[in-house]
Structure 1
Amino acid sequence: MATYKKRGYKPKNKVEEVEVTEENSTTAEVFNTLDEGASKTEEWVAANQKYILGGVAVIAVVILGYLAFQKFIQAPKEQEAANEMFRAQQYFENAVNGNSAVRDSLYTLALNGGDGKYGFLEIIENYGGTKAANLANYYAGFSYLNTNKYQQAIDYLDDFKSDDEMLGPLALGGIGDAFSQLGQVDEALGYYEKASKAKVNDFTTPKFLLKAAIIAISLKKSDIAVTYLERIKNEFPKSVEANQVDVHLGQANAMQ
C-alpha cells in the first residue's frame, strides 16, 4: 500500500530513496500521458474543426427548423382542423342523442360534411398528422359502426391512437363490436380483452369484461367467462354490469 509522504520528505535509507524515485517517476509518467492525450485531442479538434462546426450548425438548423414548423405551420394547422371539425362533431352528437328516424342521415353528414363544412373523412384527408384528424378517426369509426358498416368501422377505429382513459378502451371495444357483428367472434373476444386491459377504470373495464365473458360463453370457453365474471363481481360490484353477472355466471358454470 502506498504511504503518503509530506512535501520535503527525505528518505531515511537507500530503499526509501528508490521508492520515492519510483513514485515520482510513476507520477511523472501519468501526467505525461495525460498531457499527450490532451495534445492529441487538441490536434484532432483543430484538424476536424470545420466538420465539428458544420455538425453543430446542422443540429442547430434542425432544432430551429422543428421549432419554426411547430409554431408557424403545425399549430395553425391544428387550430384550423379543430375549427373545421366542430360542425361534424355536432352532427355526431345529434345522431347519438336524436331519434332513430334521422340518425343514419346525421351520421352520414358527420362523415361527409354539410352546410359547407368538412366531415370527419375530409378532416382526416386534409389535416393528416393533427390531433383533430386522429380524433376524427374515432368519430368516423363509430359513425360507421352505428350505420352497420362494420369493416369501415374497424379500419378507422384501428387508425385512432390514444392514451386517453376512456377513448382508448372505447375504440378497442368498438372494434370488438364490429368483429362481433361480422360473426368473427374470436377476433371480437381478443379486442374486448384488450379494451378491458387498456385502462382500468370503473366504466370501461367492467363493460368490456362482461362483453368478453358473453363471447367466451358463446365459444364454450367457460373458464375464461367465469374468470371475467368473477372479476366484475369482486372488483366492480357497483357497476351496471355487476347486475348481470349472476345470470351469465350461471350459464358459464353449467357448461363446466
Structure 2
Amino acid sequence: MATYKRRGYKPKDKKEQQQADELQSTTAEVFNTLDETASSSEKWIEKNSKLLFTTLIVIVGLFLAFLAYNKFVTEPNELEASNELAFPRKYFDEAATASTGIDSLLNLALEGADGKYGFLDIAESFSGTDAGNLANYYAGTSYLKMKQYDKAIEFLSKFNSDDEMLGPVSLGAIGDAFADINQPEEALDYYEKAAAKKENEFTTPLYLYKAGQTAMNLKKFDKAEKLFTQIKEKYSKSEQGRDIEKFIAAAKYAE
C-alpha cells in the first residue's frame, strides 16, 4: 500500500530510498510520455492542417446544401404535390357516396382530366413526397373498389405509413385483395400484419377477426382460436367482440 510522503520527507532506509527513486522515475516517464504524445499530436495537426480545414469546409458545405435542398426543392415539391392531390381526391370522395358511375369517377381519380394529374401521375412524378406516397394508397384503394386486384396490391404495397389508421388499413386492404383472388394464405398474413401494425380499438379487432375467419377457412383452427381469443381478452367491447365467444367455441371444437 502506498504511503503518503510529506514535503521534505527523508527515507529512513535504502528500501524506502529505492521506492522513492522508482516512484520519481515512473512519474517522470509518465510526464515524458504525455509530452511526447502532445508533441506528436501537435505535429500531426500541423502537418494535416490543410486536410482538416478542407474536410471541415466539405462538411459545412454538405450541411448547407442539405438545408438549401430542403428549402428550395423538397418543400416546394411537397407543396406542389399536395396541391395536385386535391383534384383526384374530389372524384375519389364522390365515388365513395355515389350509387352509379363509380368506376368512371375512380378512373378520373386515377388518370386525371383537364390537364390535371390523377393519382397515378402524382405517385410517379412526386414519388419522394408525402403526397406521392399517399397517392399510392388512393390508387391502390381505387383499383380495389374496381376489382382490379393485382393493381390494387401493386400500389398498396408501395404505400408506407405509420399513421394509426392508414397504416393498418392499407395492409388490411392488401389482405382483402388477396382474399378476393382466392389466395387465403397471403390474405391471412396481411390481416395479421394489419392487426399488429398499430394497436387500437378499431382496426386491431377488425383485422384479428378477418384473420380468424380466414384461418378457419384454411382449417387452421388453433390459430383461429388464438386470434379470436385476443379479441375477447383485449377488445371485448368492440363490434367484433360482442359475439366472439361463439367463434372461439367454433374454432375450439372444429374438426
TM-score normalised over the length of structure 1? 0.95
What is the deviation of 1:225? 0.9
Counterpart for residue 40 of structure 1: 40
The Cα offsets for residues 104-142 of structure 1, whole Å up to 9 and x where unpaired, read as 111111111134321111111111200110111111110
Structure 1 window deviating more from structure 2 (38-47 vs 204-213): it is 38-47
The amino acid that maps onto 1:52 is: L
Aligned counterparts, 1:222-237, within 5 A? 222-237=221-236
Q: What do you get for the CA RMSD once the two structures are aligned?
A: 1.4
What is the deviation of 1:190? 0.5
Counterpart for residue 63 of structure 2: 63
2:10 aligned with 1:10:
yes
Q: Secondary structure, in 3 states, of the residue corresponding to 1:238?
A: coil
Q: Secondary structure, in 3 states, of the residue corresponding to 2:3?
A: coil
Q: Unaligned stretches of 5+ in structure 1? A: none
What is the deviation of 1:243? 3.2
The amino acid that maps onto 1:131 is: D
What is the deviation of 1:160? 0.6
The amino acid that maps onto 1:141 is: G
The amino acid that maps onto 2:241 is: A
What is the deviation of 1:12? 2.6
Counterpart for residue 237 of structure 2: 238
2:158 aligned with 1:176:
no
Distance 1:97 1:238 in 2: 29
Counterpart for residue 130 of structure 2: 131
Q: Secondary structure, in 3 states, of the residue corresponding to 1:216?
A: helix
Q: Which runs of 4+ in 1 moved over 6 A?
A: none
Q: Unaligned stretches of 5+ in structure 2? A: none
2:204 aligned with 1:208:
no
Distance 1:63 1:50 in 2: 20
Distance 1:191 1:8 in 2: 83
TM-score normalised over the length of structure 2? 0.95
From the superposition, tell whether residues 91 and 9 of structure 1 become closer, same or farther in structure 2 (CA, over 3 Å). Answer: farther
What is the deviation of 1:239? 1.1
Aligned counterparts, 1:20-99, within 5 A? 20-99=20-99
Q: Secondary structure, in 3 states, of the residue corresponding to 2:201?
A: coil
The Cα offsets for residues 1-36 of structure 1, whole Å up to 9 and x where unpaired, read as 222223332223332222111111110100000111
The amino acid that maps onto 1:120 is: F
The amino acid that maps onto 1:46 is: E
Counterpart for residue 113 of structure 1: 112
Q: Secondary structure, in 3 states, of the residue corresponding to 1:63?
A: helix
Distance 1:193 1:199 in 2: 11
Distance 1:14 1:254 in 2: 93
The amino acid that maps onto 1:240 is: E
Distance 1:202 1:63 in 2: 43
What is the deviation of 1:253? 3.2
